[in-house]
A and B are shown apart, each in its own frame.
Chain A
Amino acid sequence: MSLKLCVAEYMISDSHGTGMRRGWFPRIVDEAFLTSDKDGEIDRAPDPVTMIEGDLSWFNATGDAQRVTVHIKRSSRTIVAQNPATVVIHDAWSFDVGESPSAEYPTITQDVFGGRFQVDRASVARDRLQYARLFLEGDVRQTYVDLGVVEPMQAMHFRYLAAVQTPGVWTEATEFDVRNEAHARWTRLVALASPVEH
């Protein structure tokens, strides 16, 4: 039996000894591996169509305040866009922190992968379109989202969405086969918690 000391935040002292509590160490508290169920050929999608969807949640039972960051790792992305169309894959997220948190459905903003190779104006008729295709591949990309402080006995809820869209001009050629594709593959979400500087 060891001496019990009077300790404050992020520390523990009991009959086993004195040391740091779990909440002192930066660590992974929740993670998810999400895969796309819409990869491949696409049709016209003026409104975003969901490819990957998922969420993370964590309840702070450590007894100390925690700063939570979500690390979003996205696979390489691929699109094929046929003149004059634009093909993009959106990434969006939302989060809520508090008692019984519930994040809203993520809103699409300007976090986009994709492009267009347009060699005909919007006014050109279907049977007069020229042939042009854009093949675009993007690297694996990561980003960090700071959720702020999760107090003891509170929780966080994080939602993620990847969606494909074909904004703008869409004219489907009649004289040859059209090919538009989108591949979002996968996204990994990792929630990290670490102590807060008071």
Chain B
Amino acid sequence: MVCINPDHFITYPDGSFAAAPWMQLRQVATATVAGKSGNYGVSGGVNKNELLHTVTVAYTNDSPVDQLVYGLVTRGGAQVTLQARSRGGLVTYHGVMLGVGDPPVAEVSRLGVGGDVGRGGILGFGTGFCVLQHSQSETTTWLMPKSAGWYLLDPGASLTARVDVRFVSEYWESSAIDGGDQGTESSYISGDTRVDLFAVPVIA
């Protein structure tokens, strides 16, 4: 009979044993929210602040060993297309709290665009025709990139992570465009948003 630490190894009825799965770096939780796209009217309208995705994922340390937890946030391909003078884009917010709940979120990343074509002066009402489009490929970033370190969870402790994506405009052109609305565009495509949590055992 071998003397083993039951917190680190699992013994099976046939007498064999193996390292417990919580003794290795591994993915412990994942959640994905499907992508979304939308169009806004190009003339008239007001500033936008529209919630597109919310992803919430939680993990409870169900092992007998302390665990250090970190997260990765994967944003699918995204695209912002705006007519002249409108400025805005997709803003990503992250939040993490210890325990189970609804963490407050703060802005961490943006993808946007904005442009104008020569028009100004006292009689420079409205604007000329112009469409700017900015597309960004799928990208993975750290959850909470501004904070240092990973989250330490004692056995039985929980962590909740939340990621929001909003379409936010800084300025929305509402006057008429030279030649009318034909061919103009104000739209977005926001790909899938995925949050993965990983855990690493800590031996004190």
Contacts and interface: CB of A to CB of B under 8 A. Distances in A.
Contact of A115 (B16, B77, B135): B135
Contacts of A7: 16-18
Interface stretch (A34-42, A54-62, A105-113): A105-113
A125 to B, nearest CB: 14
A110 B129 contact: no
A112 B72 CA distance: 21
A119 B139 contact: no
Interface residues of A, number: 45
Given A91-B137, A116-B133, A119-B129, A109 B24 contact: no
B132 A8 contact: no
A86 B131 CA distance: 11
A121 B129 contact: yes
A170 interface: no
State the main secondary structure of chain A at its contact with B. strand
Interface in B134-158: 134-140
B19 A24 contact: yes
B130 interface: yes
Nearest to B75: A143
A67 B134 CA distance: 35
Interface stretch (A45-53, A134-142, A171-179): A134-142
B135 A114 contact: yes
Given A6-B15, A110-B79, A110-B191, A116 B131 contact: yes
Interface of A: 5-11, 20, 24-26, 67, 74, 77, 86, 88-89, 91, 109-123, 134, 136, 138, 141-144, 146, 194-195, 197-198
